[in-house]
A and B are shown apart, each in its own frame.
Chain A
Amino acid sequence: MDPIERHTIAVLVDNEAGVLARVIGLFSGRGYNIESLTVAEVDPESAISRITVVTSGTPMIIEQIKAQLDRLVPVHRISDLTDGCASVERELALVKVRGTGNKRVEALRIADIFRARAIDSTNNSFVFEISGSTEKLDAFINLMRSLGLVEISRTGAVAIARGAKGI
């Protein structure tokens, strides 16, 4: 059996009604995994959105996913940011933690180590904003569990190729 690989794929699409449903439907209909999916308009003038999808599968499945995405009519371009080019990848999370006394101090201390910022604070809670790799966010969230973790909101990964060249 071929090894399972994790790939981050960027997809430029026309920002038209139903385009996200097309992409998601393709993944569910053909039984592909979505680990995370992020979408926003990146070029309002020509109404182009960028979808970043993190998926996993054997090399043959990854090739299929790319070919299937590429043949959707509103898709302009796809780029595999895991294969073929060096890239940077970031995710953002908002993490709510409740606690008092030592736990509260400890949460703040760990946030400092992870370079998370408190963007909301009450007498017994914080909301931290943290960005970085998915693994870094996982590590931070795991540490917060014993310190009164209440709620997490994550964006899913966004990525871009290194260097001067565009997609």
Chain B
Amino acid sequence: MAKRKLSGSDIVIQSLVDAGVDTVFGYPGGAVLPIYDALFKQNRLKHVLVRQEGGAVHMAEGYARSTGKLGVVLVTSGPGATNAVTGLTDALMDSIPVLCLTGQVPTHLIGNDAFQEADTTGITRPCTKHNYLVKDVKDLGQVMKEAMYVARSGRPGPVVIDLPKDVLINETTYEAGKKQPAKHKTYRPQIKGDSSKIREAVELIAKAKRPLFYCGGGVVNAGPRGSKLLTEFVRMTGYPITLTLMGLGAFPATDKKFLGMVGMHGTYESNLAMHDCDVMINIGARFDDRVTGLISEFSPGSKKIHVDIDPSSINKNVAVDIPIVGDCAAVLAEMIKVWKTTKPRKDTKALNSWWGQIEKWRSRNCLAYKQSKEIIKPQYALERLQALTKDRDTYITTEVGQHQMWAAQYMKFNQPNRWMTSGGLGTMGYGFPAAIGVQLAHPKATVIDVAGEASFQMNIQEMSTAIQYRLPVKVFILNNEYMGMVRQWQELLYGGRYSESYTASLPDFVKLAESYGAVGLRTTKPSEVDDVIKEMLNNDQFTIADIAIDKGENCFPMIPSGAPHNEMLLGPEDEAEKPVSEEGMVLV
């Protein structure tokens, strides 16, 4: 390959192009001006100008989550970097591959409290998978390659490269077109699972009387092949499956074997099956506290298999019987192979009675609600959204709160990478910029941010970005004029003292949209919901649909904090009977 002398800025751009990156989300500033000048002189990388750096990271996350590719962010030093911290933490918690390039003051000024200086590597150390400070332009090419490899491989995550201004200006030789390293001297994620453990696991799966697959985002992160293999294996066994919030779409929601989401706002049948199963097959989920509920009473009678690419996820919250470290797709492929060769005989009688029990739970119809003629129920609005989008090429993002849980319950995902939500960190303001990132990656698709009026306002400035790039993103606001989930907890746990949870002084979202040259729609009547959704879907512009919903509606079913799975609240009538324990009060 030809060796050329390039400036640090050109190396940054060349490395990104060589790695197949086509889009960068960023915001300029003093320390990154050399990169912006280099961007100006080329046309291989598209730069998307955001309105605040926090938005850039969420856009990169949406882009990455919907494509399986790396999301790339470019911000300046100091405030540019600190504004990115929330998004980086979000990407770390949800295992999203993001590369964040931050500007830095020139190396000779580092440590001098220079203008717009911040200790970026220090600040981002606990919220990234890894980070780098490049002090010599000679190291830059290698660091760029290594950083992208680390971000994408193993359990994906955010990686920061801090770039002092002089490093961006200095020149060195760069070998263009060189492939990314396939390995790293110290970092070696384990892809293939231990074969003897896999055989042991399949044996246990085959003998199960009350089995349950419990799968999560790790399957989605293993690529479309992971979901395909999971679907194949689940159908091969005929066992029931539940998915975590992050795993939705890894198995088709319309398949009868899918019991719905698990966890705090999961379905009755999923949570009771988790509690009562005798073999739990966890593939790519991490026993999050929102899933397990009261840990001491979590699935007390089950043998647990846990497949995870990250060894630190194993035995972290829940002790498991058969741990398998490896990539979900690789392990599933081997499990299928073993199943096919051993042709195990299942305990059909026990399985039939297990399914009978599950059908009984399912018949409680835990997601039922009463739609009135006067007020729009959020569940109704989402059911209509689901019905009217199911034949489209649809991607859904959400903000955080009640609307997020309702969307997880009522939207049906039959494919992975169609559902973008902030699961681990619970970042309000995630959904709208994420939707912009998704739309940029899929220009022809229908991209909807299911939002609450409070969350939407946390990154509302990105409307300007959506307009600038003519992105037909749809913001579907379930507007109850409250921080709904906060209000719900205050109702359940704090005697209805709604401290600061009312969203006062809301804008007129229709006029707001119009002021940006976008489309604004609003309805307060159930009879108009369909028309508003259709109008939203049938125009090719950025649209805000403001749906005024029942202000007092709570999100059910619910496992109150500190309770085990079999003590779910199914609706308002359960609330009074089961007060939350003191132990539960201190939990989040």
- List the interface of chain A (C-beta within 8 A of B): 14, 17-18, 21-22, 25, 29, 60, 63-64, 67-68, 70-71, 73-76
21 pairs of residues in contact across A and B, judged by CB atoms under 8 Å: A14-B186, A18-B121, A18-B122, A18-B133, A21-B122, A21-B125, A22-B125, A25-B125, A29-B126, A60-B315, A60-B319, A63-B315, A64-B312, A67-B311, A67-B316, A70-B311, A70-B312, A71-B312, A73-B187, A76-B185, A76-B186
Once A73-B129, A76-B186 are accepted as A-B contacts, the answer to whether A64 and B315 lie under 8 Å apart by CB is: yes
- Chain A residues closer than 8 Å to B125, beta-carbon distance: 18, 21-22, 25
Give CA–CA (A63, B314) in the complex, Å. 9
13 extra A-B contacts, CB within 8 A, seeds A18-B122, A73-B130? A14-B186, A18-B133, A22-B125, A25-B126, A60-B319, A64-B312, A67-B311, A67-B314, A71-B311, A71-B312, A73-B129, A73-B150, A76-B186
> Does B269 lie at the interface of the complex (its beta carbon under 8 Å from any beta carbon of A)?
no
Give CA–CA (A60, B318) in the complex, Å. 9
Once A21-B122, A22-B125 are accepted as A-B contacts, the answer to whether A73 and B315 lie under 8 Å apart by CB is: no
> Does B278 lie at the interface of the complex (its beta carbon under 8 Å from any beta carbon of A)?
no
> Does B310 lie at the interface of the complex (its beta carbon under 8 Å from any beta carbon of A)?
yes
Q: Are A71 and B310 in contact (CB under 8 A)?
A: yes
- Least CB distance, B178 to chain A, in whole angstroms: 21
Give CA–CA (A24, B442) in the complex, Å. 42
- Chain A residues closer than 8 Å to B185, beta-carbon distance: 14, 76
Give CA–CA (A14, B185) in the complex, Å. 10
Q: Are B315 and A74 in contact (CB under 8 A)?
A: no
Nearest-CB residue, chain A, relative to B131: A18
Which interface residue of B121, B126, B150, B310 has the most chain A CB atoms within 10 A? B126
- List the interface of chain B (C-beta within 8 A of A): 121-122, 125-126, 129-130, 133, 150, 184-187, 310-312, 314-316, 319
- Least CB distance, A9 to chain B, in whole angstroms: 14
Give CA–CA (A21, B121) in the complex, Å. 10
Nearest-CB residue, chain A, relative to B310: A71
- Chain B residues closer than 8 Å to A22, beta-carbon distance: 125
- Least CB distance, A66 to chain B, in whole angstroms: 9
Of B130, B133, B310, the residue contacting A17 (CB under 8 A) is: B133
Give CA–CA (A76, B188) in the complex, Å. 10
Closest 8 CB pairs of A and B: A67-B312, A73-B130, A67-B311, A73-B187, A68-B312, A76-B186, A29-B126, A25-B126
Give CA–CA (A60, B310) in the complex, Å. 16
Give CA–CA (A73, B150) in the complex, Å. 8
- Least CB distance, A59 to chain B, in whole angstroms: 9
Once A18-B121, A21-B122, A25-B126 are accepted as A-B contacts, the answer to whether A75 and B186 lie under 8 Å apart by CB is: yes
Nearest-CB residue, chain A, relative to B127: A29
- Least CB distance, B287 to chain A, in whole angstroms: 12
- Chain B residues closer than 8 Å to A67, beta-carbon distance: 311-312, 314, 316
- Chain B residues closer than 8 Å to A75, beta-carbon distance: 186
- Chain A residues closer than 8 Å to B150, beta-carbon distance: 73
Give CA–CA (A70, B302) in the complex, Å. 29
Q: Are A74 and B312 in contact (CB under 8 A)?
A: no
- Least CB distance, A160 to chain B, in whole angstroms: 21
Nearest-CB residue, chain A, relative to B311: A67
Give CA–CA (A25, B122) in the complex, Å. 10
Give CA–CA (A70, B314) in the complex, Å. 13
- Least CB distance, B272 to chain A, in whole angstroms: 27
Give CA–CA (A29, B92) in the complex, Å. 14
Give CA–CA (A29, B312) in the complex, Å. 15
Give CA–CA (A71, B314) in the complex, Å. 13
Give CA–CA (A156, B130) in the complex, Å. 28
- Chain A residues closer than 8 Å to B314, beta-carbon distance: 67
Give CA–CA (A70, B189) in the complex, Å. 10
- Least CB distance, A37 to chain B, in whole angstroms: 17
Give CA–CA (A21, B133) in the complex, Å. 14
- Least CB distance, A74 to chain B, in whole angstroms: 6
Which interface residue of A17, A73, A74 has the most chain B CB atoms within 10 A? A73
- Chain B residues closer than 8 Å to A76, beta-carbon distance: 185-186
- Least CB distance, B158 to chain A, in whole angstroms: 13
- Chain B residues closer than 8 Å to A17, beta-carbon distance: 133
- Chain B residues closer than 8 Å to A68, beta-carbon distance: 312
- Chain B residues closer than 8 Å to A71, beta-carbon distance: 310-312
- Chain B residues closer than 8 Å to A29, beta-carbon distance: 126
- Chain A residues closer than 8 Å to B319, beta-carbon distance: 60
Nearest-CB residue, chain B, relative to A60: B315
- Chain A residues closer than 8 Å to B187, beta-carbon distance: 73
- Chain B residues closer than 8 Å to A25, beta-carbon distance: 125-126
Nearest-CB residue, chain B, relative to A29: B126
